[in-house]
Homo-oligomer: A and B are copies of this chain.
């Protein structure tokens, strides 16, 4: 009885072996951002595969945001610094294929932003607090006549909060989900008839949030932040889905 336990053989494509090895080299730090891979012809020698195989591997690595190759570049493909582009892409696909509703996306933002501001209220430095303040001031200044500036300042505020939370994962996800939401409804926001009033109310909300952060009251800041986001986006969410958003407001 017993005997050797054989495992099913998983046939693995040649290009996958190439991808694995290059990926390993990058993630282990042996290949740093800005560094170059060998040229395609050099790679086909080192891996003893054909050029098509090398190229298929490079396409996969490129799709994952790890490298970029340009025609004619005498150096090989460039190792890229990390960007959440791949995460962004897969989450966008998720949003479309899994049919994520706007309500779910906004709810996720409320969760992330609420947590980020809670953490920021407790862990922020003075410099980070000042940065948030400047962003809110910029929102206030732009609310009257500069909708684009308002949006940019709003992004800057939430980005500063996410950074102050000290959690890079929260920061990246916040960024990704926000851009997805904005792409879904930026046209509707731009066309809102009472847009200026909305911006002014948003400024007021942000001022309340930052006051709570300054006071170090994390739970209050989180509550206010979620409420502010609800007020800003609820109008674009179907009525029967708003209850799920309100469930986050305590």
CB distance from A103 to the nearest CB of B (A): 8
Known: A87-B91, A122-B247. 16 other contacts (CB 8 A): A26-B97, A55-B56, A56-B56, A64-B93, A82-B98, A84-B94, A87-B87, A87-B90, A87-B94, A94-B172, A104-B166, A105-B169, A108-B170, A111-B115, A118-B248, A119-B248
CB distance from A184 to the nearest CB of B (A): 13
Query: Are B90 and A64 in contact (CB-based, < 8 A)?
Result: yes
Residue in contact with A100 in the complex, picked from B26, B59, B63, B168, CB distance below 8 Å: B168
> Which residues on A are within 8 Å of B, measured CB to CB?
15, 26-27, 52, 55-56, 59-60, 62-66, 82, 84, 86-87, 89-91, 93-98, 100, 104-105, 107-108, 111-112, 115, 118-119, 122-123, 166-170, 172-173, 177, 218-219, 244, 247-248, 250
- A5→B90 CA distance, assembly (Å): 32
Residues in chain B near residue A105, CB distance under 8 A: 169
Residues of chain B within 8 A (CB-CB) of A115 are 111, 115, 248
A96 touches B168 (CB 8 A): no
Please, which residues of chain B bring their CB within 8 A of the CB of A65? 90, 93
Least Cβ–Cβ distance between A168 and chain B, in angstroms: 6
Q: Is the CB of B55 within 8 A of A82?
A: no
CB-CB under 8 A from A173, the residues of chain B are 173
Report the separation of the CA atoms of residues A111 and B222 in the bound assembly, to the nearest whole angstrom: 12
Neighbouring B residues of A91 by C-beta, 8 Å: 87
Residue in contact with A169 in the complex, picked from B26, B56, B100, CB distance below 8 Å? B100
Roughly how many angstroms separate A127 CA and B172 CA in the complex, as a whole number?
Answer: 35
| A218–B247 alpha-carbon span in the complex (Å) | 9
A91 closest partner in B (C-beta): B87
Please measure, in the bound complex, the distance between the C-alpha atom of A91 and the C-alpha atom of B94, giving whole angstroms. Answer: 13
Of all chain B residues, the one with the shortest Cβ separation from A177 is: B169
Contact A123 B244 (CB under 8 A): yes
With both chains docked as a complex, state the minimum distance between the C-beta of A117 and any C-beta of chain B, in angstroms: 12
| Residue contact B93 to A123, C-beta cutoff 8 Å | no
In the complex, what residues of B have CB within 8 A of residue A168's CB? 98, 100, 104
Cα distance A100–B87 in the bound complex, in angstroms: 14
